[in-house]
Structure formats: structure tokens, C-alpha cells
Structure 1
Amino acid sequence: MVTVPTRVRLGYAVGSFCTANFTTIPGLLLLIYMTNVLAVDPLLAGVVVFLPKAWDLVANTLVGQWSDRTVSRWGPRRPWLLGGAAILPIAFVVMFIGPPLTGVPAALFVGAAFLVAASGYALYEVPYKAMPAEMTHDYHERTSLLQWRMIFIAIGIGMSGILAPILAGDTVEGYRLMGLVFGVILLLAMLASFFGTANAPYTGQAEPEASLKAQLRAARTSKPFMWLLGLSSAQTLGAYVMLAGAPYFAAYTVGSTGATTTLFAALVGPMLVTMPLWVWLAKKLDKRGAMILSGVLFMTGAVAAVATPLFGPLYAHLVIVVVGVGYAGLQLLQFSMLADVIAYDGMVSGKRRGGVFTGLWTAVESAVAAFGATIYGATLAIGGFRESDPANPVTQPQSAEFAVLIGITVVPAAIILLGVLMTFKYDLTSAKMSQVSHDVT
């Protein structure tokens, strides 16, 4: 068994600040930034959040193949981390410091900047996700390695969910300051992961697949990968519908815009303290059983949040803690199982195709995450939610406030239920991995 050194675990994990901040801030703030600051129609705003991420279906697949075929003294993945660092932080800042536009022109500007940022993110994130499968062959060592990553993701989500709304407030100037601060954080995290993985062990000795077509065919015909992609897509979609609705839930259901930060603390807190528990549960229940449990917890908390108008803010925070415990398990187990799928394919095929697997994964994950905002924006539009800007506040109709609540509770719970049901079909267990490893050796 190859044990990953602690310094490499930390060096790899710090890159998760990029993952956490770039996925959380657009998912949390971009929709409400457009509807409540730039006076963009909620349905149009939801589409703007989604379309740049749809581009990832192409970009991420290409990046995955390029990184699989890269030969350098830095290894096949690490050069691409630098490429992403050169693009993403700048484009992220531009998203929030644009000219004083409102309505459709503002939506177009934000969408164009988001498209460039998404491309930079693809250059970084696809190779980054492929690296754990190539650091160790051991089934449980990968979970232990990714436990560190999840801790940094939790810290990053906390930064995004607590600090970013405080900096942004509800003004153009606040969002510009937030964009600058987090652009710097993204740059530092991406560079730190490049340098921190310089001495990472590399066990991916298989040859890269000759063509992109063959790699895509391999991904499509991998039963474990396709089931994992399906169940994780449902989980991600449910989580990002809830994420997009969080500021609205705080403002219109809990009754305080400042509650966005405390609700996020309730979500992220369990991620910081329950990771060892989920590692233990993954060993006791196997990863599939632990994944089912985490989905049920997430779904239970989301459904319980429907009663917030009856029981008040404290109750809302308590049920979000339950959501947070489930979300911690989903985050850890998704990426640990993805590393298993990549390692399994390498053992069975003798080919290096992890980049395309993670490229497809990241593309679908990004598109699905952005589609969460589209679903929530559509829910608001159906409820009659009215766009505004700081100089012209509006009073929302009761139907819009009802849509705010249903969109963050019942809708994501139903989607998560689908993911739980799909998890029963995933069969890449510890026993199966051990048997394949024994047969290969």
C-alpha cells in the first residue's frame, strides 16, 4: 500500500479552497446579485448562471483527455493547475467589478465573464480531481486522503457562505470588494496546490488511451462510473437548488438577510467535525451504505425546514445542522467513490483514462450545480417574485414568499430522494475492488 505523506495531503487539500469558493459563491450569490442588485429578471438570471456551465460539457472533456496525454517532468496533471490559475481568478473578479449596467446588458456581461471563469476552472479542476486515484491504490487510503480535502472544502464553504455575504451586502460596491478578495484567495489556493503536490506519489503507470472517442466510450460503458455519475448528479442538483435559495430563505422566511451567514455556519459546522465519523461509517457500512445514510439525513433536514414559519429562526438553524451532517457525508463519499472508479478502470483496462472520467464528472457536476440556480429561479418566477435593485426595493407577493420556501425544502428533498434510490444500484464495493486487485496482481 502506498501511504500518502502528510505534507502532500495538506498540499493537495488546500487546492479545495478553489473548488469550494468557485462553486459556492456563484451558487449562493450570483442569482441574488443579478435579481436584487442588477435588476435582472429571475428566470433570465437563472439561465445566465446555467449556460456558462453547460459549456463545461465540452471544455472539461477536452481538458480531461489533454491531461491524460500530457507528459512532463511535473507529471500529467500538475501543469494544468497553473493554466487554471492564470485564468480563473481574474475572470472571477471581472464578474463582480463590471460597468454600471442593469437588466439584460448586466446579465450578458456577467454571463460572458462567468463563461471565461468556468473555462479556467475546467483547466484546474479536472486534473485536480484525477490526482487522488493516482496517488495510492488502496481503497480506504483514498477515503483517508480525501478526508483532508473535505476539511478544507468545509473551511472554504464557510468562507464563501459567511465572509462573502458579509462583504457583498446588497450593494454594487460590496460585491466588487467581495470579488477582489476572493479572486486573491482563489489564486493563492491554486498556486499552493501546485507547489504542495510536487512530491506526491504517482502510481498511475498505465498508458493513456489513444483517442478521445475511445475514452468517452470507456466512460459510457463503465457501469460503476455511470451509476455514480447519476446518483452524484442528483445529490449535487438538490444541494445547489438549496444553495441558490439560501439568501432568499434568510431574507423572506427567516426574516433577516444576516441569517445567511449563520445558516451557513450551521451547514458547514458538521463538515468540520463529522469527517472522522463518515470515514468510520464508510468502513462499517461500506461506502454505498454510508452514502445512503447521508442522503437520508440531508433529505430529512430539507423536508423539516418546511415548518420554519411555524417554529422560527432557531428551528431553521437546527434542521440545517441535520442537512449539514448529511452533506458532509455526500461530499466525502462522492469523491472517494470517484477515485475508486478511476482506479478500478485502470486495473481492468490497463489504460490511463482518469482525466476523461474526471472531465465528464466535473462537466456534469458544474452544469448540474448551475442548473440548481435555474430551477430555483424558475420556482421564484412561477411564484411571481419581482426583481429589484437597492434604489428601488419592492414588496414581494405572498405567492413569491411561498415559492421561496418550497424551492429550498420540498424541491431539493425530492431530488435527493432520487439520488438515494440510485445509490442502491452502485456495486463497486470494497470486496469487489479487492478481488479485482487480486486478479490483476
Structure 2
Amino acid sequence: MNGKLGIRAKLSYGLGDFGYSIMGQTVTMFLIFFFTDAFGIPPVAAGTVMLVSKIWDAVSDPMMGSIVDRTRTRWGSKRPWILWGAVPFGLTFFLLFLGPELSAPARVAYAGVVFILYCTAQTVVNIPYSALTVSMTEDADERSSVTAWRMSLALVGTLIAGAAAPVVVQAMGGGIPGYRRYALIAGAVGAVMYIITFLGVEEKNFGSREKVEFLANLKSVFVNKPFLILAGSTLATMTALNILAATVPYYFKYNLRSPGLTAAGLGVLLGSAILFMPLLLALSRRMGKARAYMLALAETIAVIVLLRYLGERSPLLALGLFALAGYGVGSMYLYPWSIVADTIEYSQWRTGIRPEGALYGYFTFVFKVGTALSSFIIGIVLAAFRYVPNVEQSASGLEGIRLLLSFIPAALFLAGIALL
């Protein structure tokens, strides 16, 4: 039974990314905002902390992929790591938002150390989780269906992170205490969701069980041209998406003077992405994944460029544009993860090696670099345009925020299309 999968398997698998998204997308959308406006870290320092951690990820992600490919247990090669990594991942997420009382230099050091621990825990659990798709079924359409379930539930988790987090943080005291309590709940939920994935998904073996040496695995990745093209495009598009999402709290607070609508803005953006998912899946079957993806990215560029020209009295129009941008956001959740599974089949044909863990390790690293680059770019742009936290912004500061929401991610989305 290597083909069709039941609802239980798809739901159990998707719940893992639901849990991840509650944590991971809180980091993407709110961590730099938390660092600058609550924890008191300067924007450039906050962005640099997140970028420097990727040096370690450059080593740990491929290494973890190779470890997964060489793991042999009665539970398979991927499921045990999901189980073992679930609780540490939730715990390190909580520590990111703990916000202890420290001196200014110590706050930067704390943020750096804890963020590296968080990224390591994420590596341990999320690389085998992502690679599990290709060990569930060999059927390409079923893999697309599994990915659609995964990404739909990921978008629900992202929606909760984006729309509920600001409300919950304020309801639980606001500031550092509010973030701390929210992180405790979200971290616990995320860990439980991964455990459900471990219990509800059967891992199958479709390739050779021969252990492949690390260097052979590495070589098989770098001769996989379709994977390298996808990775380059995804780095550009995910950096753009993360810049867009992480700028939303700044945009509603300072440009639109409506901080209470931050949750609504993220809710509309992500909720519409969920609603567009069936259309995106149908288009991929009709016109191919790559063409459908490029079409969605082009639509997103057109929409976000319009955000540059909205005035401070246009929150409802901004919400309408966010709803339209959800089409492209949904595509960035669905298509890259669906396409990367296909590149594994190419690798097996090209080299005779099926480097599931290694490919997903590098692909996960691309997403992490996108998150870090986005935070670094936000920090640099905010500093260059003289942003000052928690005060009325100058015209220059407001312009910097507008650029981060429009032209800068639009240019990166265009680069993503060009690379496909």
C-alpha cells in the first residue's frame, strides 16, 4: 500500500506543522518586534543576532539530514527524531520570550545563545518531519495532497500566531510578561502536536536501506540541479515573505496608527491564504507547479506595491490588499514543499542515492536563512531610516516601514520568479 493515504495519516502529519507554525511563525512575525520594542535590543543588534546564528545552522542542518538518513530504528529513520525533539523545541521557544532582567550587553548575549539553541532544536525535529513526506507514499498526487494538508494546517497555525498572539499577549498583561505567558502555552501546544505526528504517521521505506556516507550524500545534493534552482528561488521568496509578515506589526502601529488592527491584518493575510489553498492545488494539477507558482508570485508583487501608496487613514483598504496577497502567500506554503519532494526522485535517478534527510536538511536551512536575512534586512532598514521604538515616527521612519512592506519584498519576489 504505497499509494493512497487515509485522512488520519494526513491529519496527523499536518498537525506537526500546525504546532511548528504556532511557534515558528511567532518567531518570524514577532521576535524582532519583541527584541526591539519589549526586550530593548537595538534593531541592528537584533537582526545581527538572528543572522549570525545561521553560521551554526549551515553546519547543523546538513549534518542532521545525514544523521537522519543513517538512522535505523524500529520506528524508522525520521519518526524517532520527531519524538525526541518535540519537548526541547517547545522549551527553547519559551526561553526566547522569557525576557529576563539583564544589562544591555547581557540581553544581546542571551538572545544570541537562546536563539542558537532554539534553531538547533528546530533542526532536530523539523528536518526529519519535513523528510517524512517522501516516506509516506510514492504517489506524486498523494504527496501533493499530503503537502496541501500540511500547509493548510500550517496556515491555520500561522493564523493563530498572527491573529491571536497580539490579543493573547495583551490579555495576559502585555509587554514581556504577556509574551512570556503566551510562549509557555504555544510551546506546550507545539510539542504535543509533534508527538501526535509521531503516533499517527506510518513511515515506509521506498529506497535502499544501505547507509550512505556523508560526503556521498553531500555530492548528491550539489549535482541535483532542480533542487539547487528551487533552493535559490525559495531563499529569495521566503526572505521576502518573512520581511512582509514581520513588518505588519510596525505598519499598523506606526503608519496606520491602528495597533489594535495588527491581529486583523495578519488574520486576513493568512486566513485568505488558507481559503486560496484548494484553488492553488487545482491550478498546480492543471498547469504544473512551477507555472502556477510564478503566476501567484506575480500577483503578490502587484498587490504589495500598492501598499506603498496607502495613507494613514486607509486601514480597511490595507486589509483588502492583504486579502488579495493571501493568494501568493498560500502558494509559498504549498508549492516549494511539494516540488522539493519531486527533486528526491530526480536525485535517485541521477545518482542512485535517495538523500531524503540531506535534501530536506538543506531546504530547511534555506528557510532559516530566509528568516534570518529578513530580520537582518529589517534591522538595517529601520536603522537607516532612523526608526525609534515606541515613539511617533518621523517621515523617514514611516518611509522605511513602507518600503519594507512593498518595494523590498516585491524585488525579492521578482528574483524568485527569475530563478525558477
Say whether 1:339 aligns with 2:336.
Answer: no
Letter in 2 for 1:163: A
Shift of residue 84, structure 1, vs aligned partner: 1.4
Letter in 1 for 2:293: M
2:283 and 2:374 mapped to 1: Cα distance?
29
Partner of 1:186: 190
Say whether 1:406 aligns with 2:403.
Answer: yes
Partner of 2:319: 317
2:135 and 2:345 mapped to 1: Cα distance?
8
Q: Is the 8 A contact 1:83 1:120 kept in 2?
A: no
Shift of residue 210, structure 1, vs aligned partner: 2.4
2:354 and 2:83 mapped to 1: Cα distance?
22
Please list, as runs of the form range in 1=range in 2, the aligned pairs for 1:126-137 lying within 5 A after superposition.
Answer: 126-137=127-138
Partner of 2:282: 280
1:96 and 1:416 mapped to 2: Cα distance?
30
Q: Is the 8 A contact 2:345 2:354 kept in 1?
A: no
Letter in 2 for 1:189: M
Please list, as runs of the form range in 1=range in 2, the aligned pairs for 1:2-21 lying within 5 A after superposition.
Answer: 2-21=3-22
Specify the SS of the correspondent of 2:3. coil
Please list, as runs of the form range in 1=range in 2, the aligned pairs for 1:203-242 lying within 5 A after superposition.
Answer: 203-208=205-210, 210-242=212-244
RMSD: 1.6
TM-score scaled by length of structure 1: 0.91
Partner of 1:64: 65
1:53 and 1:164 mapped to 2: Cα distance?
26
Specify the SS of the correspondent of 1:351. coil
Q: Is the 8 A contact 2:98 2:180 kept in 1?
A: yes
1:226 and 1:264 mapped to 2: Cα distance?
31
Give 1:302's match in structure 2, choosing from 293, 301, 304. Answer: 304
Partner of 2:178: 174
Please list, as runs of the form range in 1=range in 2, the aligned pairs for 1:89-108 lying within 5 A after superposition.
Answer: 89-101=90-102, 103-108=104-109
Shift of residue 48, structure 1, vs aligned partner: 1.6
Partner of 1:428: none
Q: Is the 8 A contact 2:276 2:326 kept in 1?
A: no
Partner of 1:145: 146
Distance 1:263 1:31, change over 3 A: same
Deviations 1:393-427 (A, max 9, x none): 4332221111011111110000000001111xxxx
Specify the SS of the correspondent of 2:309. helix
What stretches of structure 1 move > 4 A for 4+ residues in a row?
Answer: none
Q: Is the 8 A contact 1:38 1:103 kept in 2?
A: no
Partner of 1:433: none
Distance 1:71 1:234, change over 3 A: same
Deviations 1:133-155 (A, max 9, x none): 22222222211111110110111
Partner of 2:392: 395
1:3 and 1:14 mapped to 2: Cα distance?
19
2:223 and 2:88 mapped to 1: Cα distance?
34
What is the number of residues matched between the two proteins?
Answer: 416
Please list, as runs of the form range in 1=range in 2, the aligned pairs for 1:345-384 lying within 5 A after superposition.
Answer: 345-384=347-386
Shift of residue 209, structure 1, vs aligned partner: 5.4
Deviations 1:193-236 (A, max 9, x none): 11111x34x24222455221111111111110000101111110
Q: Is the 8 A contact 1:158 1:264 kept in 2?
A: yes
Distance 1:321 1:119, change over 3 A: same
2:103 and 2:210 mapped to 1: Cα distance?
48
2:229 and 2:247 mapped to 1: Cα distance?
28
Q: Is the 8 A contact 1:77 1:127 kept in 2?
A: yes
Please list, as runs of the form range in 1=range in 2, the aligned pairs for 1:39-54 lying within 5 A after superposition.
Answer: 39-54=40-55
Q: Is the 8 A contact 1:242 1:407 kept in 2?
A: yes
1:70 and 1:196 mapped to 2: Cα distance?
20
Letter in 2 for 1:16: D
Deviates more, 1:43-52 or 1:355-364: 43-52
1:216 and 1:403 mapped to 2: Cα distance?
40
Distance 1:344 1:208, change over 3 A: farther
Unaligned runs of 5+ in 2: none
Percent identity between the aligned chains?
A: 27
